[in-house]
A and B are shown apart, each in its own frame.
Chain A
């Protein structure tokens, strides 16, 4: 089976939607001035009780998981050798590269003493191997680079076809070398998320005495790993559906439909692991204690079980709206699980509460907007989406 090559979508970049995103990004940038001039207290709702807020829980912990589409697809294509999904890899690598880049940028905004960040990768003698956060930091930094290298064939392709003479000769000489190295870079792209996505779970094992029983688990690393997988698949589906609606590219309903059972089984694996672990350790009764914890716990479970059932059905193979709905539910449930583990389940003791400040939310929104803008610019100018290729040229 041969695939359509990817083509740039083309068209006008500055649509009203794009301009609106630019506005949000600018507002976020203005809010950043307050954060850097006056410190974290002036810009955020964080306190000594809740020392981490949405910049960690959403921008980093959720943001990287949403960037796992490339990882999840690469597992299928390169490890399980399911070549037919290959057209979905390149756009997923792009969202991954963007998602991880912005997560890494958010870390710089979040840490109080950001000017020392360069010490993490360089001061090897200081490394504390007990710290899961160190593992996350080193891995994420490396993986950002790996993702952009994995995405670079798309840039080289464009340069070879229609770049300046300089770009063309660079693409010509770098291309073959990249091709030879690629399997080992792809392998690195499979190893690193396995490591840091599970470590993101380990991070919240350290404060176990402050964790709610429904979210604390010795399986947190495994749960976070499975969680990033289904979030990755859900992002691939959502992204494909959105670009076909928003950019007018061809729908990939059949291809996404073929993915549906895989997604369903990953979801089921997650729910089974989570419930099995809670039951075996005797923590499950906490799910039946009325209150906010149980409510959020069941909401998470429902948001994941419902799409699992739907994805095993027939509609999911043929109907784009069913696929999209299932993906949205998976995203909501998976994001909630991560957010709850980092914020809701974390209880520093009485007297503390957390709600993000307006500036804090604005900065996160600004990052998302900038991410969307760069995505649109790249898919319009570079060959990323094979669904942008007219059907007759297949």
Chain B
């Protein structure tokens, strides 16, 4: 698959201008800044792949804390709770990236994006960012149209395909628990820790500095898709893509579509003006007793 580079994405602004079409006014596409700056109160998780031993205590605790059933898989006739990916009964999963006899674990869950695609996608705001930056989901609003699934760059929201009355399932940072996230609470190795994002960033940098050469000199989520509140550290020789984290640049996912929506529909001025113009033209063209032009 040929992925888009940032340049390919943004040069569209010039093309759109050249096309001069009212329908594609792209007003502010050149500034790819995140729509939302990090707030001091934002909370998130820091996951350190080099410390994770793959015990999956976090996965099991997440299920019990969120009242989710096991995802039973039969191996040699024995059922295990073995989700292979996030799914309708799994809000976090531990996956392994193996290369020869080297391997590394990765924990997946909602990234709590600064500028979330799921929020931008949802027609009637079933997803909303809370004061701590966590994206909460309100099933009483949800229509189950699944645009959030299409939009999310990390394929996080999952749908209850086997239910006649389905809801979406995704990590909401255990916002229903006053103790905070269950996964970080049980992790025996501090491979996943919960905290305020500025503290998590400082902790990540501290770990990188404390063990020179051990870590890749990047923090996944610091800038990806305009920044996420869940952050990742990985070993120096295990790139984030090997862990299965998608290769994305710093453009917030909703950036381009939102600028179009805002550019064209701001205050409904353009549509109303267009309607008036069309209305006048039609009225003029159907006037003068032009019987035969009635539909």
State the A residues within 8 Å of B (CB).
2-3, 36-42, 46-49, 51-52, 77-79, 81, 83, 86, 89-90, 93, 107, 110-114, 116-117, 119-120, 123, 126-135, 137, 150-151, 153-154, 179, 182-184, 186-188, 190-191, 194-195, 198, 202-203, 205-214, 216-219, 221-222, 225, 273, 276-277, 280-283, 286, 289, 293, 346-349, 351
Contacts and interface: CB of A to CB of B under 8 A. Distances in A.
Contacts of A78: 281-282, 285-286, 293
Given A182-B286, A209-B153, A213-B3, 15 more contacts: A52-B150, A86-B292, A93-B295, A112-B143, A114-B144, A127-B125, A131-B261, A190-B278, A190-B282, A191-B274, A209-B3, A211-B4, A218-B16, A221-B23, A286-B2
Contacts of A119: 124, 141, 143
A79 B279 CA distance: 9
Interface string B11-42: 11111101101011010010000000000000
B15 to A, nearest CB: 5
Contacts of A39: 160-164, 166
Interface string B253-288: 110111011100100000100110011011101100
B24 A198 contact: yes
Contacts of A225: 23
Interface residues of B, number: 84
B253 A221 contact: no
A339 to B, nearest CB: 15
B246 interface: yes
B221 to A, nearest CB: 15
A214 B125 CA distance: 31
A153 B294 CA distance: 8
Contacts of B123: 120, 127-128, 131, 133-134, 137
Contact of A133 (B24, B147, B149, B295): B147
A111 B124 CA distance: 14
B9 A51 contact: no
Contacts of B210: none
Contact of B258 (A86, A112, A130, A151): A130
Contact of A194 (B23, B29, B87, B262): B23
Given A46-B161, A93-B295, A117 B286 contact: no
A78 B292 CA distance: 12
B2 A213 contact: yes
A130 B278 CA distance: 26
Contacts of A113: 142-144, 165-167
A283 B2 contact: yes
A151 to B, nearest CB: 7
Nearest to A153: B295
Interface string B138-156: 0001111111011111010
A83 B290 contact: yes
Contacts of B151: 206-207
Contacts, number: 271
A191 B124 contact: no
B1 interface: yes
B19 to A, nearest CB: 6
B161 A281 contact: no
Contacts of B23: 194, 198, 221-222, 225
A123 B5 CA distance: 39
Given A47-B161, A83-B293, A218-B29, A130 B282 contact: no
B2 A219 contact: no
B7 interface: yes
A259 B98 CA distance: 61
Contact of A186 (B117, B160, B295): B295
A79 B14 CA distance: 29
B94 interface: no
26 contacts: A39-B163, A39-B164, A51-B150, A110-B145, A111-B144, A113-B167, A127-B123, A129-B265, A130-B119, A130-B258, A131-B120, A135-B261, A151-B295, A153-B294, A186-B286, A187-B278, A187-B281, A191-B278, A205-B256, A206-B121, A206-B147, A207-B151, A209-B3, A209-B225, A219-B12, A277-B19
A122 B281 CA distance: 32
Given A90-B295, A111-B143, A186-B286, A222 B261 contact: no
Contacts of B16: 218-219, 222
Contact of B1 (A86, A154, A202, A212): A212
Q: Which of A93, A120, A183, A184 has the most CB of B within 10 A?
A: A183
Q: Which of A206, A212, A281 has the most CB of B within 10 A?
A: A206
B275 A191 contact: yes
Closest 5 CB pairs of A and B: A112-B144, A218-B12, A41-B161, A51-B149, A187-B279
